[in-house]
Amino acid sequence: MVQEEIMRRGPWTEEEDVQLLFYVKLFGDRRWDFLAKVSGLKRTGKSCRLRWVNYLNPDLKHGKMTPQEERLVLELHSKWGNRWSRIARKIPGRTDNEIKNYWRTHMRKKAQEQRKKSSVFPSSSSSSSSITHEKNERNFYDTGGLKLLQVEGEKKSSDQEQDGKSMKVYSMDEIWKDIELLEENEEKMNKPIMGSISPLWDYSLESLWKDFDWNNFR
């Protein structure tokens, strides 16, 4: 429609953030289309919601995942597959987007490591390995992860509220080993496991929140 043509897209500016924060505080984090309109932001409601959910929400943690969180992600993903929002609900302060990104990055690494391993010990079956590996990698981390490793026919009803109790999961041992390896490597390379919070975030959020005296509103 006519409106869509003047909608802003792309990265949010600090002013936009401040404006959105103000209106969310005023009207709550619902009715995003309404918020987008009354705020005067030239953004869609969808875009506003996303910015709030993934970045501005003060309940969010920022910075590197802790090892505990990493474990939790792996464990929950093994139970639920790519149900990112569901996984995120179990990990306070983390968003589905963050977890999704984390998973993709780390599973890609794992897949690459596995590829290396299997090229050292190639399977007897295939000669056109690179193509099939590409496919396998994609399946593994893009489409439900470890669910794919389940034995065929084990799949029960939908994933609704199974909480993994009845799901048979196969490769957690491997995953734990990989995690241990990763942590060892991190220590060897003298990287702190508890990652540092991004200085950019420190700066911008701090300044953003400082600018607001929420007691003046409401």
Nearer to DNA, 104 or 168 (CB): 104
Indicate whether 137 belongs to the interface with DNA (CB under 7 A).
no
- Count of chain residues binding DNA (CB under 7 A): 41
Nearest of 1, 12, 6, 5 to residue 42 by alpha carbon? 6
Q: Tell me phi and psi for residue 206, to 5 degrees.
A: -55, -45
Positions 55 through 74 that interact with DNA (CB under 7 A): 55, 62, 64
> Nearest distance from residue 125's CB to DNA, in Å?
26
Nearer to DNA, 153 or 199 (CB): 199
Report the distance separating Cα 90 and Cα 72, nearest Å.
8
Q: Which of 26, 38, 54, 164 binds DNA (CB under 7 A)?
A: 54
Q: How many residues make up the chain in this entry?
A: 218
Indicate whether 45 belongs to the interface with DNA (CB under 7 A).
yes
Find all residues with CB under 8 Å of 8, minimum gap 6, and list them: 16, 41, 42, 43
Q: Which of 20, 21, 41, 51 binds DNA (CB under 7 A)?
A: 51
Q: Which of 70, 94, 96, 111 binds DNA (CB under 7 A)?
A: 96
For residue 18 the two structure tokens come to: 């401040």
Report the distance separating Cα 218 and Cα 211, nearest Å.
16
Positions 73 through 92 that interact with DNA (CB under 7 A): 82-86
Report the distance separating Cα 181 and Cα 187, nearest Å.
10
Nearest of 177, 39, 47, 206 to residue 114 by alpha carbon? 177
For residue 190 the two structure tokens come to: 């003298």
Identify which range of 95-103, 118-126, 150-158, 178-186 contacts DNA by CB under 7 A.
95-103
Q: Which of 2, 3, 5, 10 binds DNA (CB under 7 A)?
A: 10
Radius of gyration for the chain, computed over Cα atoms and rounded to the nearest angstrom = 22
> Which residues are near DNA by CB under 7 A?
8-12, 30-34, 43, 45-47, 49-51, 54-55, 62, 64, 82-86, 96-98, 100-102, 104-106, 108-109, 112, 142-144
